[in-house]
C-alpha cells in the first residue's frame, strides 16, 4: 500500500497543513496513476507514520487524527449527535463515494445527498465540519463533470458544494466549479 | 430517539448490543419495520438499522449508531477505534457481505464462504496477538469490539467458519460473545436459528457490490447454479423423469370430513368475525384469507383438512347495532351473516363450514363446559360495581358506555378499552361516563357476577404451554402476548353480563344474565362443527390425532391462547387445544386506519365494486400480509405489484411458455432433451419449491408467495437467455433446443399453477385449463418438480392472465375510498375548532399526545381535501388550511422535528392500527 509519509510533531498545526496532506494524497494518487484508485477493486489506502506511537491507516482516521493535533477538534463535531453524524458522513465518503464510480451509482448518490441537504447548510446542519471537507474532496471529480442541467437538478448539492469550495482555504489547488446563478431550465425536476 | 430495525437484518446485532450503553441516558424507542421500508426520507434505498435522533436527523450507518450510543455513555473517540471502524466499513464489510450472501442466500458452504473473509479474519487475529491485548482497542471492551463482533457474529457463531489456527481471534470472539448485551442481541436477532434467521432479510437485499464486480468477469448464471451439488441435480432429474407416475391417487372428497387415524388431520379455524359490521381488508387478511391459503395448501398436500369459521353473533355490540338500525338482534344477525357469507364467497374462501354462534348447539356446549368448570370449583361469584343508567333502567355493558380515557384523556374511550392508547379500562374508571343510548350520566350500582378462576388454572395452563410451544409454529407475537399475560399473573375473569342477547347462564339467581363473549365466543368453533356433523367430538375431543391451527389478528391471542385453553383444561374433557396459533399484526390503510364511520378504507363488500378481480385482491393482500410486522395497504403499491409482479413477471412467463407451445409446436408439448444447464434449472426450481413447502409448513404465507415469483423470474430468464423464438427458425439442432426450452418452460408454468392455487385459486384454475393439466396434477403438490406435461400433450387455448392497472383508475379508486363524507368532516371540524387546548396537551409530549396530534392532522387533512373537492369558498378553504398547517407545526414540535420536514409525508402517516379481526 502506497501512501504519504508525513512526520508531524504533536504541536499545533494549521488547518492548511491537514488539508494539504489530505489533498496532496488524493491528488497524488490520481495523477500518478490515473486509474490506480481501482487496483484490484481497491482504493489506495493512506498510511500516516507518527513519531510516537504506531502508524495510522485510513483516510478518515488520519484526517481525524490531524484535526485533533491541530487543536481543531470542533471540526469533529461538538455534541454526541454531531460527532456521530460527522463520522457517519466520513464513512459515507470512503465507502459510497470512493467505493463506486459507475454513472448510476453516482446519480443515486447525488439524488440522496440532494434530498438530505434540502434543509441543511452543512452536513451536520449548521456547523462546518471535517465531513464537509472530505465529502467535498471526494465529490469534486464527479461534480466537475456534471452538465449545467444536472447541477440544477441537484440544486441543494450544488449550493452546498459551491459554499464549501469558497470556504477560506479549502479548495487548495482543485479547480473551481462554476455554478450558474440564474436557472436555465425551469422544469429540471 | 427512535431505532428502526428489521427482522434478520445483521446490523441489528451491534446496534442492540451497543444500545445498552445508552441506557438511562436517553429514551430509546425501538420499531420493527419491513426490510423494504424506506425509513430515512432522503435515502432512496431502504436501510436498517436506522436511528432517528431527537433533533430529527438520522443515523443510517450501523457504526455511527453504535458510536453515538457509546458517546452518550461518556466514551471519548480515539484514533485506534476510528481506525478499526474505518477498516470495518471499507475492508471487512464488503468481504463479509459476500461471504454471508454465499452462505445464506446461495446456500454455499466451506471454503466458498470462508474464502472471501479469510484475509480479514487473519488481519484481526494478527492485530490482537501482536498487541497482546484482550480487546481491539485496549484492555477493556469498547466500541470497536462491539462493531466488529456484531459484523462477524452471524458467520463466526458457526464454529465451521472460525478457523482454529486463529487463536487470538477465537478467544476474543468468545469473550465478547459471552457479554450479556451481546448475548441478548444475538438471541433477539438470530432467534436461535443461527445464520438462517438472516435469510428473509438478505434475500431481499441487492447482491453485494463486492460480488457484482466478480459476476461481470465470470458467468453470473454459473455462479448461481454452482451452489447445487451433483446429487441434488441427479435427484431432481430422476423425480422429473418419473413424471405423472410419481403422483399418488387423489383423495376422494368426503362429507363430512372426519379425522382418520394414522393420517395427518388438520383442523383450521379463522377468528369468528363479529356480526355487527362489514369486514374490512384488515379483517380479511388477518384471519379468513390467511387461513384459506393454509387450508388450500393443506388440501394440496393431501392432508385431511377441515376449515371452519362463522359469525360471532352474541353480545352487546349486536344489541347496539340492532338499536341503531331499529331491528331485533336476531334480524341483525341474519342480515349481517348473509353479508359476511357473500363477501367471503366473492373472495373465494374455501370454508368447509361457515356457521354462526346463535344456535342451540352453542347453548348446549357452552353450558356443559360451564357446568363442568362450576362443579370442579373453577368458578367464583362476586359482587361487581357497575354502571347503571337510571333513565334506560338497566346495567350498562361496557360497550354501552363512553367517556374520557383515564390514561390518555382520549374523549371517546369505550367502556372496555381505549381505542387511542389501547389500554384496557374498567368502565367505572371512565371519566365523565355517558350512556351511549340516552347520553345521560350513569350511576355506580352493584350486581352479582360469575368469574372464571384463572389463577387456579394457571399452573395447568403453563404445563400445557410447556408441552405445546416448543417446536410448534405459534407466531412470535402470540408467544410474546401469552408470556406477558402470564408474567403479570392471571386474574379472575368475569364471564357474565347483564344482557339478554347471549347464551343463558344455567344457574339460579342468574336468569337475567348471559355469558360474556370472553367465555363463549371461542366455544363457537365447537358448536359450529357440531352443527356440521354430529361426530364433532372426533375433531374437538381428539388432541392425539388432530393438529389445530387457529388464525387471528393479534388482539385475539389472549382468548385463544389463554382463556379458552383454561376453560377447556378446567372442564377436564380431553378437548383438542390449539397446536399452532397464527396471529397477524395489523394492516393500516394508506395514511391511517380503516374507519367505517369516516368512510375511509376498503370494506369487503366494496372490493367487488372496484372492478378488480378477487384474485388480484387476494394476491396483493397476501403479498403485504402483516406477517411479523404491521403493514399498510396502498393503492399505488397495489398498482405496482400488479403491473410488475403479476403482469410482467408471472403472467408474462406463463403466457409466453404457453404461446410458444401453441405457435411453434401446434399446441403439442415438444420433445425435451435436457442439457446439463436444463438439469440445473430443474434442480434450482426444485430447491425453490422445497423452500416454498418449508415456509408454508411454518405458515409463513407471505414469504412463500415470494418463492412463486422467484421461480417465475428464473423461468423468464431461462426463456430470455435461450431465445426459442429465434432458434425455432434455425438448424435442426436449434429447433430441438427451442423445443426443449419451450417444453421445460411450460412444465414450470404447470408447476406454478399448482403452487399458486392457495393464493389465486381462479387464476390457477385458468392456467390449468389453458394448459389442460391432467386432474391429479392439479390437486396435488409434491416436494419435487415433476414433468406433468409430457411430450405430445395437447394444451388448450392460451390467453393473457392479468390486466394492467392504470394510474387514473387507481387514482379514482383512491379518491373514492380515501375520504369521508362532508357532513362528518364538518362535524369533525367543529370538534377540532372547539378544542383550543390542543396546544396545551402537547406540552408533555408523550407518544400518545403525538398520536392525538397525528390523528388531528389526518382529520384536518381530510376536511381540507373534502372542501377542495367540493370547490368550497376560497376563504373557508384557506382558514382550514391554516388550521392544518398549525396542527402540523404542533406535531413537528411535539416530535422534536425541524419545522420544515422535507417532503412532509412522514408526518401525515398515521400508524393507528386497524384491528384485523374481532371475535371479542
Cα(B213)–Cα(B42) distance, integer angstroms: 27
User: Which DSSP string do the residues of chain A spell out, in sequence order?
Assistant: ---------SS---HHHHHHHHHHHHHHHHHHSTTGGGBTTB----EE--SSS--EESHHHHHHHHHHHTT-GGGG-SSHHHHHHHHHHHHHIIIIITT--SHHHHHHHHHHHHHHGGG-SBTTBSS--HHHHHHHHHHHHHHTT--HHHHHHTHHHHHHHHHHHTSTTTSTTSPPPP--SS-S-TT--
* Interface with B, mutate which of A87, A93, A114 (most B CBs under 10 A): A87
Between the alpha carbon of residue B612 and those of residues B608, B617, B852, the distances in Å are 7, 7, 35
* Interface with B, mutate which of A77, A91, A93, A154 (most B CBs under 10 A): A91
Residue A162 class from Cβ within 10 Å (0-12 exposed, 13-18 middle, 19+ buried)? middle
| pLDDT(B564) > 90 | yes
| pLDDT(B425) > 90 | no
State the pLDDT at residue A26. 54
Do B213 and A41 lie within an 8 Å CB cutoff?
Answer: yes
Whether the CB-CB separation of B3 and B26 falls below 8 Å is answered with no
Strands B587-589 and B631-633: parallel
Helical H segments across B723-760, by residue range: 724-727, 732-755
> How far is the alpha carbon of B37 from chain A, nearest alpha carbon, in Å?
16
State the pLDDT at residue A82. 95
Residue B918 class from Cβ within 10 Å (0-12 exposed, 13-18 middle, 19+ buried)? buried
Name the residue with higher pLDDT: B235 or A5: B235
* B83 to chain A: closest CA residue: A61
Cα angle B113, B117, B122; round to 5: 135
**E-assigned strand segments in B483-585:** 493-494, 496-497, 514-515, 546-553, 580-584
Stretch B874-888: mean pLDDT, rounded?
Answer: 73
| pLDDT(B907) > 70 | no
State the pLDDT at residue B288. 96
> How far is the alpha carbon of A166 from chain B, nearest alpha carbon, in Å?
26
Model confidence at B232, in pLDDT bands (50, 70, 90)?
confident
Count the alpha carbons within 13 Å of B154 in the hemisphere toward its beta carbon.
31
| pLDDT(A145) > 70 | yes
Q: Does B255 touch chain A (CB under 8 A)?
A: no
Of the partner residues A60, A61, A80, the one whose CB lies closest to the CB of residue B68: A80
Stretch B518-542: mean pLDDT, rounded?
Answer: 95
Q: Which of B185-189, B768-772, B896-900 has the lowest mean pLDDT?
A: B896-900
| pLDDT(B370) > 80 | yes
Q: Sort out which chain A residues have CB atoms less than 8 A from B903's CB and list them.
A: 115
| pLDDT(B222) > 50 | no
Highest mean pLDDT among B98-112, B113-127, B679-693, B788-802 belongs to B788-802
DSSP lists the bridge partners of residue B379 as: B452
Of the partner residues B45, B59, B213, the one whose CB lies closest to the CB of residue A85: B59
User: Which DSSP string do the residues of A7-25 spell out, in sequence order?
Assistant: ---SS---HHHHHHHHHHH
State the pLDDT at residue A13. 38
Name the residue with higher pLDDT: B223 or B124: B124
Count the Cβ atoms, other than its own, within 10 Å of residue B260: 13
Predicted complex ipTM? 0.86
Of the partner residues A41, A58, A100, the one whose CB lies closest to the CB of residue B86: A58
Helix (H, G, I), strand (E, B) or coil at B660: helix
Cα(B827)–Cα(B34) distance, integer angstroms: 36
State the pLDDT at residue B510. 92
| pLDDT(A101) > 80 | no
Q: Sort out which chain A residues have CB atoms less than 8 A from B62's CB and list them.
A: none
Helix (H) or strand (E) holding B877: helix B874-895
| pLDDT(A11) > 50 | no
State the pLDDT at residue B210. 62
Do B90 and A58 lie within an 8 Å CB cutoff?
Answer: yes
Q: Does A71 touch chain B (CB under 8 A)?
A: no
Residue B504 class from Cβ within 10 Å (0-12 exposed, 13-18 middle, 19+ buried)? middle
| pLDDT(A36) > 50 | no
Q: Sort out which chain A residues have CB atoms less than 8 A from B85's CB and list them.
A: 87, 91
Q: Does A145 touch chain B (CB under 8 A)?
A: no
Helix (H) or strand (E) holding B444: strand B443-452
* A97 to chain B: closest CA residue: B90
Do B41 and A76 lie within an 8 Å CB cutoff?
Answer: no
Do B53 and A112 lie within an 8 Å CB cutoff?
Answer: no
| pLDDT(A128) > 70 | yes
Strands B304-311 and B353-356: parallel
Q: Which of B208-217, B267-276, B604-613, B835-844 has the lowest mean pLDDT?
A: B835-844
Model confidence at A12, in pLDDT bands (50, 70, 90)?
very low
Q: What's the mean per-residue pLDDT of chain B?
A: 85
| pLDDT(B884) > 70 | yes
Stretch B626-631: mean pLDDT, rounded?
Answer: 84
Q: Residue B41 gets which letter from DSSP?
A: T
State the pLDDT at residue B483. 86
Between chain A and chain B, how many beta carbons pairs sit less than 8 Å apart? 97
Between the alpha carbon of residue B739 and those of residues B233, B270, B462, B744, B854, the distances in Å are 21, 46, 61, 8, 60
Cα(B910)–Cα(B593) distance, integer angstroms: 7
Peptide bond before residue B256 is cis, with ω within 30 degrees of 0? yes
Cα(B578)–Cα(B565) distance, integer angstroms: 8
State the pLDDT at residue B595. 65
Model confidence at B747, in pLDDT bands (50, 70, 90)?
very high
pTM comes to 0.58
Whose CA is closest to B198, among B95, B311, B101, B306?
B101
State the pLDDT at residue B855. 74
Q: Residue B305 gets which letter from DSSP?
A: E
Do B86 and A61 lie within an 8 Å CB cutoff?
Answer: yes
> How far is the alpha carbon of A76 from chain B, nearest alpha carbon, in Å?
10
What is the end-to-end Cα distance of chain A in Å, rounded? 43
State the pLDDT at residue B869. 66
Q: Which of A104-108, B161-165, B287-291 has the lowest mean pLDDT?
A: B161-165
Q: In this structure, what C-alpha cell is assigned to residue B117?
A: 473473509
Q: What percent of chain B has pLDDT over 70?
A: 89
State the pLDDT at residue B546. 97
Q: Does A61 touch chain B (CB under 8 A)?
A: yes
State the pLDDT at residue A32. 31
Cα(B442)–Cα(B456) distance, integer angstroms: 34
Stretch B380-399: mean pLDDT, rounded?
Answer: 84
State the pLDDT at residue B329. 93
Whose CA is closest to A89, among A133, A137, A131?
A131
Stretch B232-242: mean pLDDT, rounded?
Answer: 90
Q: Sort out which chain A residues have CB atoms less than 8 A from B18's CB and list them.
A: none
Stretch B271-283: mean pLDDT, rounded?
Answer: 88
B853: CB partners within 8 A, 6+ apart = B838, B842, B887, B890, B891, B894
Q: Does A101 touch chain B (CB under 8 A)?
A: no
Q: Which of B222-236, B271-285, B375-389, B689-703 has the lowest mean pLDDT?
A: B222-236
Whether the CB-CB separation of B479 and B442 falls below 8 Å is answered with no
State the pLDDT at residue A185. 60
* A125 to chain B: closest CA residue: B57
Alpha-carbon torsion angle B423, B426, B432, B434, nearest 10? 110
Model confidence at B757, in pLDDT bands (50, 70, 90)?
very high
| pLDDT(B283) > 70 | yes
Q: Does B290 touch chain A (CB under 8 A)?
A: no
B513: CB partners within 8 A, 6+ apart = B449, B496, B497, B498, B499, B505
Q: Does B76 touch chain A (CB under 8 A)?
A: no
Of the partner residues B64, B87, B902, the one whose CB lies closest to the CB of residue A58: B87
Whose CA is closest to B309, among B524, B520, B518?
B524
* B22 to chain A: closest CA residue: A80
Give residue-wise pLDDT tens across range B72-97: 999 999 999 999 999 999 999 989 99
> How far is the alpha carbon of B844 from chain A, nearest alpha carbon, in Å?
23
Stretch B365-386: mean pLDDT, rounded?
Answer: 94
Whether the CB-CB separation of B1 and B28 falls below 8 Å is answered with yes
* B901 to chain A: closest CA residue: A119
Stretch B154-183: mean pLDDT, rounded?
Answer: 88
User: Which DSSP string do the residues of B371-416 spell out, in sequence order?
Assistant: HHHHHTT-EEEEEEEEEEETTTTEEPPGGGEEEE-TTT--TTEESS
| pLDDT(B858) > 80 | no
Of the partner residues A84, A95, A108, the one whose CB lies closest to the CB of residue B59: A84
* A47 to chain B: closest CA residue: B83
Q: Which of A44-53, B143-152, B435-444 has the lowest mean pLDDT?
A: A44-53
Whose CA is closest to A133, among A184, A186, A76, A71?
A76
Name the residue with higher pLDDT: B569 or B246: B569
State the pLDDT at residue B118. 87
Amino acid at each position: 500500500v502506497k501512501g504519504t509519509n508525513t512526520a508531524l510533531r504533536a504541536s499545533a498545526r494549521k488547518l492548511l497543513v491537514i488539508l494539504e496532506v489530505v489533498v496532496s494524497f488524493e491528488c497524488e494518487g490520481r495523477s500518478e496513476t490515473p486509474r490506480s484508485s481501482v487496483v484490484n477493486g481497491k482504493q489506495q489506502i493512506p498510511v500516516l507514520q507518527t513519531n510516537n506511537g504506531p502508524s495510522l491507516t485510513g483516510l478518515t482516521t488520519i484526517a481525524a487524527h490531524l484535526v485533533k493535533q491541530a487543536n481543531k477538534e470542533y471540526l469533529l463535531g461538538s455534541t454526541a449527535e454531531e460527532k456521530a453524524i460527522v463520522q457517519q458522513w466520513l464513512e459515507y465518503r470512503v465507502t459510497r463515494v470512493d467505493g463506486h464510480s459507475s454513472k448510476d451509482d453516482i446519480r443515486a448518490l447525488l439524488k440522496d445527498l440532494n434530498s438530505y441537504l434540502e434543509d441543511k447548510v452543512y452536513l451536520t446542519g449548521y456547523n462546518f465540519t471535517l465531513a464537509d471537507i472530505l465529502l467535498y474532496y471526494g465529490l469534486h471529480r464527479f461534480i466537475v463533470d456534471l452538465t449545467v442541467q444536472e447541477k440544477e437538478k441537484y440544486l441543494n448539492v450544488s449550493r452546498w458544494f459551491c459554499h464549501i469550495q469558497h470556504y477560506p482555504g479549502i479548495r487548495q489547488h482543485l479547480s473551481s466549479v462554476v455554478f450558474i446563478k440564474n436557472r436555465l431550465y425551469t422544469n429540471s425536476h | 430517539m427512535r431505532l428502526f430495525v428489521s427482522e434478520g437484518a445483521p446490523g441489528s446485532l451491534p446496534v442492540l448490543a451497543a444500545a445498552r450503553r445508552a441506557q438511562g441516558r436517553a429514551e430509546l424507542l425501538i420499531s420493527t419495520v419491513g426490510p423494504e421500508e424506506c425509513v430515512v426520507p432522503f435515502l432512496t434505498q431502504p436501510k436498517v438499522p436506522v436511528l432517528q435522533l431527537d433533533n430529527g436527523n438520522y443515523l443510517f450507518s450501523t457504526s455511527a449508531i453504535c458510536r453515538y450510543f457509546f458517546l452518550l455513555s461518556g466514551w471519548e473517540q480515539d484514533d485506534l477505534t476510528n481506525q478499526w471502524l474505518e477498516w470495518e466499513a471499507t475492508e471487512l464489510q464488503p468481504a463479509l457481505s459476500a461471504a454471508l450472501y454465499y452462505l445464506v442466500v446461495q446456500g454455499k458452504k466451506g471454503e466458498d464462504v470462508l474464502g472471501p473473509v479469510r484475509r480479514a479474519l487473519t488481519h484481526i487475529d494478527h492485530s490482537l496477538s501482536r498487541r497482546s491485548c484482550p480487546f481491539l482497542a485496549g484492555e477493556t471492551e469498547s466500541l470497536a469490539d462491539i462493531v466488529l463482533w456484531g459484523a462477524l457474529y452471524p458467520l463466526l457463531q458457526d464454529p465451521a467458519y472460525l478457523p482454529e489456527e486463529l487463536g487470538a481471534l477465537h478467544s476474543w470472539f468468545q469473550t465478547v460473545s459471552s457479554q450479556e448485551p451481546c448475548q441478548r442481541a444475538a438471541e433477539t436477532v438470530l432467534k436461535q436459528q443461527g445464520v438462517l434467521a438472516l435469510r428473509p432479510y438478505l434475500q431481499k437485499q441487492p447482491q453485494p457490490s463486492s460480488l457484482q464486480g466478480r459476476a461481470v468477469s465470470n458467468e453470473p448464471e454459473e455462479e448461481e447454479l454452482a451452489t447445487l451439488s451433483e446429487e441434488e441435480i441427479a435427484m431432481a432429474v430422476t423425480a422429473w423423469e418419473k413424471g405423472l407416475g410419481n403422483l399418488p391417487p387423489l383423495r376422494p372428497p368426503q362429507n363430512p370430513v372426519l379425522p382418520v387415524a394414522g393420517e395427518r388431520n388438520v383442523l383450521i379455524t379463522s377468528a369468528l368475525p363479529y356480526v355487527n359490521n362489514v369486514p374490512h381488508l384488515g379483517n380479511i387478511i388477518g384471519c379468513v384469507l390467511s387461513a384459506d391459503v393454509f387450508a388450500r395448501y393443506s388440501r394440496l398436500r393431501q392432508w385431511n383438512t377441515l376449515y371452519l369459521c362463522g359469525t360471532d353473533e352474541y353480545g352487546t355490540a349486536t344489541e347496539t347495532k340492532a338499536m341503531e338500525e331499529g331491528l331485533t338482534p336476531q334480524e341483525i344477525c341474519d342480515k349481517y351473516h348473509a353479508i359476511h357469507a357473500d363477501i367471503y364467497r366473492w373472495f373465494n374462501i374455501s370454508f368447509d363450514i361457515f356457521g354462526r354462534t346463535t344456535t342451540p348447539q352453542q347453548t348446549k356446549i357452552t353450558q356443559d363446559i360451564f357446568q363442568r368448570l362450576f362443579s370442579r370449583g373453577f368458578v367464583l361469584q362476586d359482587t361487581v360495581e357497575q354502571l347503571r343508567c337510571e333513565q334506560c333502567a338497566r346495567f350498562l355493558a361496557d360497550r354501552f358506555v363512553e367517556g374520557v380515557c383515564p390514561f390518555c384523556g382520549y374523549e371517546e374511550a369505550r367502556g372496555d378499552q381505549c381505542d387511542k392508547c389501547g389500554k384496557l379500562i374498567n368502565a367505572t374508571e371512565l371519566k365523565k361516563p355517558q350512556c351511549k343510548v340516552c347520553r345521560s350520566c350513569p350511576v355506580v350500582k352493584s350486581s352479582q357476577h360469575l368469574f372464571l378462576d384463572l389463577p387456579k388454572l394457571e399452573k395447568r395452563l403453563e404445563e400445557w404451554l410447556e408441552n405445546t410451544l416448543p417446536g410448534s409454529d405459534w407466531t412470535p407475537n402470540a408467544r410474546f402476548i401469552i408470556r406477558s399475560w402470564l408474567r403479570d399473573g392471571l386474574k379472575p375473569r368475569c364471564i357474565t353480563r347483564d344482557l339478554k342477547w347471549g347464551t343463558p347462564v344455567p344457574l339460579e339467581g342468574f336468569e337475567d344474565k348471559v355469558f360474556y363473549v370472553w367465555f363463549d365466543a371461542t366455544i363457537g368453533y365447537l358448536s359450529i362443527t357440531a352443527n356440521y356433523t354430529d361426530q364433532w367430538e372426533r375433531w374437538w375431543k381428539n388432541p392425539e390425532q388432530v393438529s389445530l391451527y387457529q388464525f387471528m389478528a393479534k388482539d385475539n391471542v389472549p382468548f385463544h391462547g389463554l382463556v379458552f385453553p383454561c376453560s377447556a383444561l378446567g372442564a377436564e374433557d380431553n378437548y383438542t387445544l390449539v397446536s399452532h396459533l397464527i396471529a397477524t399484526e395489523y394492516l393500516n390503510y394508506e395514511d391511517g386506519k380503516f374507519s367505517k364511520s369516516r368512510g375511509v378504507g376498503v370494506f369487503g363488500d366494496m372490493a367487488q365494486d372496484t372492478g378488480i378481480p378477487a384474485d388480484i385482491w387476494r394476491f396483493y393482500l397476501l403479498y403485504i400480509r402483516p406477517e411479523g410486522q404491521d403493514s399498510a395497504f396502498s393503492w399505488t403499491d397495489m398498482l405496482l405489484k400488479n403491473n410488475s409482479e403479476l403482469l410482467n413477471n408471472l403472467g408474462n412467463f406463463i403466457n409466453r411458455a404457453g404461446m410458444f407451445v401453441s405457435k411453434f409446436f401446434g399446441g403439442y408439448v415438444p420433445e425435451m432433451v435436457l442439457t446439463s444447464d436444463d438439469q440445473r434449472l430443474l434442480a434450482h426450481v426444485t430447491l425453490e419449491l422445497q423452500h416454498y413447502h418449508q415456509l408454508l409448513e411454518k405458515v409463513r404465507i407471505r414469504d412463500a408467495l415470494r418463492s412463486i415469483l422467484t421461480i417465475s423470474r428464473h423461468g423468464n430468464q431461462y426463456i430470455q437467455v435461450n431465445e426459442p423464438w429465434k432458434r425455432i427458425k434455425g438448424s435442426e439442432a436449434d429447433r430441438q433446443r427451442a423445443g426443449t426450452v419451450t417444453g421445460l418452460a411450460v412444465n414450470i408454468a404447470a408447476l406454478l399453477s399448482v403452487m399458486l392455487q392457495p393464493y389465486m385459486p381462479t387464476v390457477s384454475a385458468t392456467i390449468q385449463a389453458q394448459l389442460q393439466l391432467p386432474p391429479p396434477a392439479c390437486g396435488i403438490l409434491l416436494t419435487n418438480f415433476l414433468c406433468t406435461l409430457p411430450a405430445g400433450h395437447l394444451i388448450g387455448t392460451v390467453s393473457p392472465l392479468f390486466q394492467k392497472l392504470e394510474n387514473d383508475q387507481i387514482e379514482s379508486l383512491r379518491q373514492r375510498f380515501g375520504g369521508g363524507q362532508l357532513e362528518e368532516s364538518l362535524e369533525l371540524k367543529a370538534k377540532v375548532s372547539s378544542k383550543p387546548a390542543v396546544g396545551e396537551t402537547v406540552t408533555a409530549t408523550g407518544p400518545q399526545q403525538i398520536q392525538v396530534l397525528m390523528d388531528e392532522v389526518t382529520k384536518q387533512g381530510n376536511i381540507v381535501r373534502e372542501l377542495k373537492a367540493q370547490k368550497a369558498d376560497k376563504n373557508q378553504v384557506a382558514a382550514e388550511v391554516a388550521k392544518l398547517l398549525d396542527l402540523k407545526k404542533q406535531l413537528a414540535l411535539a416530535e422534536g422535528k425541524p419545522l420544515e420536514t422535507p417532503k412532509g409525508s412522514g408526518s401525515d402517516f398515521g400508524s393507528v392500527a386497524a384491528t384485523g379481526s374481532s371475535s371479542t
